[in-house]
Every structure is written in C-alpha cells, then in structure tokens.
A and B are shown apart, each in its own frame.
Chain A
Amino acid sequence: MNALACDLPAGFADPVSDANATFRAVLTAMSYPGRIVSLPVTVEVPAPLAPATGAILLALADLDTPVWLSADLDRGMVAAWLRFHCGCPLVATRPEAIFAVTTPCRDLDGFGLGSAESPERAATVIVQLADLASGDEVRLSGPGIATKSGLSVPGLDASFWRAVAANHQLFPEGVDIVLAAPDRLACLPRTTMVEETSPCMSR
C-alpha cells in the first residue's frame, strides 16, 4: 500500500478552493446543457484518467458515492488514487454506481435511473473524451437552452446519441451525463433533448 501511496499524484493543489471551482464549473455546465465550460483548475491525475475527469471526481466523489470505472480506465494507480483522495468505494457493476466513468461508449444500459420517488438516486455518467467542441453534429434543446445549442464530439457514434435520446424519454428518471475532454466539459442532463443532424449518424 505504501509503495503505491508514495507515488500517487497529488490531486488538487488547493483542495478547498479547487474543489469549489470545479463544482461551480460542473454546476454551470449542468445548468446550460451543451455549453462548453473550461476546467478552472490544474490537477495532477494518474493515467489514463484525464485532468477534467480526475478533477470532477475529486470535487464530487466521496465515501457515499460508489464509483464504477470502465475496464480501460481501471488501470495503473487510478483505483488507489481515487481511494486515497476521494475515499469512494469502487464497484464492479454499473447498477451499483452513483458516478460512472467511461471512455466513449455505445450505450447507457444498466446505470441506475433513480425512481419516480427518488429521481436523485440516478447515476451521473462521466464520458472521458479526447476532444469536445461546439458544433452542429447534434442539436440540443430543453431547459437551460434559450434557443438551441449544439455539440461536435468526435468518438461518440449514433448508437450513443440514440441512448441519450432514449434516456430523456425516461424523465423524471434517467442518468445525467458529463462529457469531459481533458481541459473542458459539457453536460447533458436527462432534461435535454438531442437531435442528430449529421447524415452519417442516422444509420
């Protein structure tokens, strides 16, 4: 355990204000779905976690929030780093997770959706991406979007966007999604409607 602990990346330089700033960034992104928000902090994280992914977990995950990692992220010192800095339990299956962290995926199957009585129990799915930009690959509308908003997200295919569209239909249940590029993020809460526009996606 010590051999691991002594090589662990330090996390936030200033835990209190960095966590506050990251929380504010996620809150802004959730409030204005599709808006790209820059990561306001620098942070030391273990590979293959990207800085934004690590910062979001440092700010939000704790003892009460089981975290699930996709197999390609559960590598190296990631698990030990999360245990040390967040104290969060790491779980093996999707339904157990409050926060799920994954590289681009094709579906949202199995994540906790909450219930009509307790919709807040649904999972938040953090998708770690190589890049993220405004664009018109997908059009977004719904609460928090004045007219319309759009995203261009390399790496997410039509099947993912169909899953996001289906997720919206479950409201008030359903997962909330954070799209995290290394230095920026955008959110797709369950209230957001997505529309694919690019012809290559309508396959």
Chain B
Amino acid sequence: MVRDATSKDGPDIAARRRWMSLLARAPVERLEDAFHSLSETPAFVPLRKPEIGSVLVRARAGGAGQRFNLGEMTVTRCSVRLPSGLVGHAYVAGRRPRSAELAALFDALMQDPSHRDGLARTLIEPLATELDQARRLKVAKTAASKVTFFTMARGED
C-alpha cells in the first residue's frame, strides 16, 4: 500500500516519494519494457552498483508504544548518474538487482523535466493504477469473509 506523503516534505519531495514507492513495487518486466521503450538509451553510469543487504524492520509495542526490532528484510539498493549530473537512487524490497538498477535510472529520469511527463504517462501512472486495482481486488475478496451478526436474544432484556 502506498501511503500519502507527508506535507512537511514539500511538493517536489512528495512527488518523488510517490514515484519511488511505485518503482520499488514495479515488476521487473514493466521496468524492462519501459527501458526498451525509451527513445534513446541513456548513458548512465553506476554511482553505486546494485547491492543486496538488509533493512532492520521495527515495530511498536501495542502498535503505538515503545519501539522494538521485529527482524530484518532483504533489500537491494542502487544509485546511478546521468550525463546531465542528475542522480537517481533506489531501495527495493527483496533481492532484485536489475529492478533496483532500473528503478534508480527512472528515479533520475523523473527528475529531468524533459522526461518527466512522458514517463509519468507511460510508466508511473499506469503502475499506480495497476497497484491500486490489485489492492482493491484483494480488499474486495477479503470483504467477502466479513461476518454479519444476527442478534437472536439479549441477556439483559
């Protein structure tokens, strides 16, 4: 689920957080398709090659109390630089080096005004729609198992 960006970050960061979260969830085939659809292949260089590591997952006692460490999860990160000097970063859950590399590339391209609108139209917004649809379908299927109670008798009456 994609959470709303908090307002304190300002509109640019909020927009970037949104596309980064969508790119982190994108299937690798979608990223490859978008990469091969670019009119010219960008000459990007790795600032940090894809690297697999872990992120410590934290939670709160009772959901809202003292923080504690639940465990770790695997993550892959990558950073790339475009010839223009723009830098893209990606951190994606799981062990997915190619996804991380392409997500970092698209993060860099999305910061370039000459690519942003085109990529938003062909990659980012369709991803947002698909992920939202998938989530709604899951919620709707789950809702079919919601209990409806019929009160037969009340003790205090």
Chain A residues near B (Cβ < 8 Å): 2, 5-6, 8, 10, 15, 84-85
Of B24-32, B79-87, B131-139, the one touching chain A? B79-87
B141 to chain A, nearest CB (A): 39
Q: Check B79 against A5 for contact (C-beta < 8 Å).
A: yes
Q: How many residues of chain B have a CB within 8 Å of chain A?
A: 10
Q: For A2, what are the chain B residues with a Cβ–Cβ distance below 8 Å?
A: 86-87, 111
Q: Check A5 against B47 for contact (C-beta < 8 Å).
A: yes
Main secondary structure of the interface of B (DSSP, over half): strand
B40-72 near A? 1/0 per residue, CB < 8 Å? 000000011101000000000000000000000
A124 to chain B, nearest CB (A): 23
Q: For A6, what are the chain B residues with a Cβ–Cβ distance below 8 Å?
A: 47, 81, 85-87
Q: Check A8 against B47 for contact (C-beta < 8 Å).
A: yes
A-B contacts counted at CB < 8 A amount to: 18
Chain B residues near A (Cβ < 8 Å): 47-49, 51, 79, 81, 85-87, 111
**Interchain CA distance A10-B80 in the complex, whole Å:** 12
Main secondary structure of the interface of A (DSSP, over half): helix
Q: For A5, what are the chain B residues with a Cβ–Cβ distance below 8 Å?
A: 47, 79, 87
Residue of B nearest to A11 (CB): B48
Q: For B85, what are the chain A residues with a Cβ–Cβ distance below 8 Å?
A: 6
**Interchain CA distance A2-B110 in the complex, whole Å:** 13
Q: For A8, what are the chain B residues with a Cβ–Cβ distance below 8 Å?
A: 47
**Interchain CA distance A199-B143 in the complex, whole Å:** 86
**Interchain CA distance A10-B85 in the complex, whole Å:** 14
